[in-house]
Amino acid sequence: MNLESILFTQGFGSRRQCRALIRDARVSLGGTLCTDPDADFPTRDNTLRFSVDGIDWPYREHAYLLLNKPAGYECSRDPQHHLSVFSLLPPQFAERGVQCVGRLDQDTTGLLLLSDDGKFVHLFTSPKRKVPKVYVATTRHALDDAQLNALRDGVLLHGEPKPIAAVDAQARDDHTLALTVMEGKYHQVKRMIAAAGNRCEGLHRERIGGLSLPAALAPGAWQWLDESDLGSLRSG
Ligand code: URA
C-alpha cells in the first residue's frame, strides 16, 4: 500500500492532508524519513510501524481498542451533558470511524471496547450474541440473600416481556455486588438491582467474555487489543 493510503486509512486526515504530512517530512518508517507519498510498503501482516511527528503507530487494518472509562464521560461522539469518551483518544480513531461497542452510562466506569470493524461491533452488540459481562456495583443498602436470589432467579424490568436473570450474583462484601449478565439492555444492571430491592450507587465493568480490564491500565487510558485479547473476548 502506498504511504499516502497508509496514513489515510489510519485516520490522519484527507488524502491531501496525508500527502502534505509526508511531503513536509513528518513521517518516518523504521527510523528513516520518507517524503514520497507513492512509496509502497507491505501492510498484510499488521507488522508495519510508522511515525508521525515522532509518535509511533502500528498499521492496523481495523482498530480494536480497550478504554478504561472514567466516570463523567458519555459513549457518544456528540455528547449531551458530559465530555465524550473520544476526547480521551487520539483524534485519528474518530477520523477512521471507531465507535463504541455497546455503551456504558456516563457514571459507569471500566472496560469499554471500541472498533472501526463494523462486523465486530455488530456481533458484540447484537441481542442474539450472548456474551457474559461482569459488573461490580456498589449498593446503597446492605446486600442480603433475598436480593441475590432474586437477581439469580430473574427480575421483571419495566417494559420487558419476561424476567431477566443474572448468570451469577455474588456479594463481595456488604455493599459490593459482582453481577454477570448476558444482555446489554438500557440501564440493565441498575434496573435489575432496583428491581431486587436495592439501589446501585456506583457501577464498574470488569470483564467481557474472557477479557478483563488490565489492572495496570489507569482510568482514562486506552490500549490496542491484540489477537490474544480478541480470542479471550470470544472465549469466557
Ligand atoms: N448497566 C447499567 O445499568 N449501566 C451501564 O452503564 C451498563 C450496564
Per-block average pLDDT, block size 10, for the chain (236 residues)? 98 98 97 96 91 97 98 94 97 97 97 97 85 97 98 96 96 98 94 98 97 97 96 86
Give residue 103's pLDDT: 94
Calculate the alpha carbon distances from 64 to 80, 148, 189, 225, 229 in Å: 25, 35, 25, 5, 10
Residue 130: what pLDDT? Answer: 85
The C-alpha cell at 132 is 457474559
Strand partners, 205: 110, 135
Fold classification of 132-208 is Alpha-Beta Plaits (3.30.70)
Give the residue whose CA is nearest to atom 2 of ligand 1: 187
CATH code at 64-127+210-235 = 3.30.70.580
> What string of DSSP letters covers 136-165?
EEEESSPP-HHHHHHHHH-BPPTT-SS-B-
Chain centroid, CA 3 distance in Å: 29
**Which strands form 49-52's sheet, in the order they lie side by side?**
32-33, 27-29, 49-52, 55-58
* Residue 155: predicted pLDDT: 98
pLDDT at 127: 75
| In contact, 102 and 121? CB cutoff 8 Å | no
For the whole prediction, is pTM greater than 0.85? yes
Out of 75, 104, 213, mutate this one to test ligand 1's pocket (max ligand atoms within 8 Å of CB): namely: 104
Hey, what CATH topology would domain 3-58 get?
3.10.290
CB under 6 Å to ligand 1: residues?
104-105, 108, 187-190, 203
Which residues partner with 169 through β-bridges?
A: 179
Q: Where, residue-wise, is CATH 3.10.290.10 in the chain? A: 3-58
In the chain, CATH 3.30.70.1560 sits at 132-208
Q: If you ran DSSP here, which 8-state letter would residue 224 be given?
A: E
Tell me if residue 174 is catalytic. Answer: no
Residue that has been written with the C-alpha cell 499516502 in this structure: 4
What spacing in Å lies between the alpha carbon of 46 and ligand 1's midpoint?
A: 34
Find where cell 473476548 sits.
233
Instruction: Compute the distance from residue 194 Cα to the ligand 1 centre, in Å.
Output: 12
pLDDT given for residue 39 in this prediction: 97
pLDDT value of position 90: 97
**Where does the chain hold its CATH 3.30.70.580 domain(s)?**
64-127+210-235
Neighbours of 125 (CB within 10 A): 16
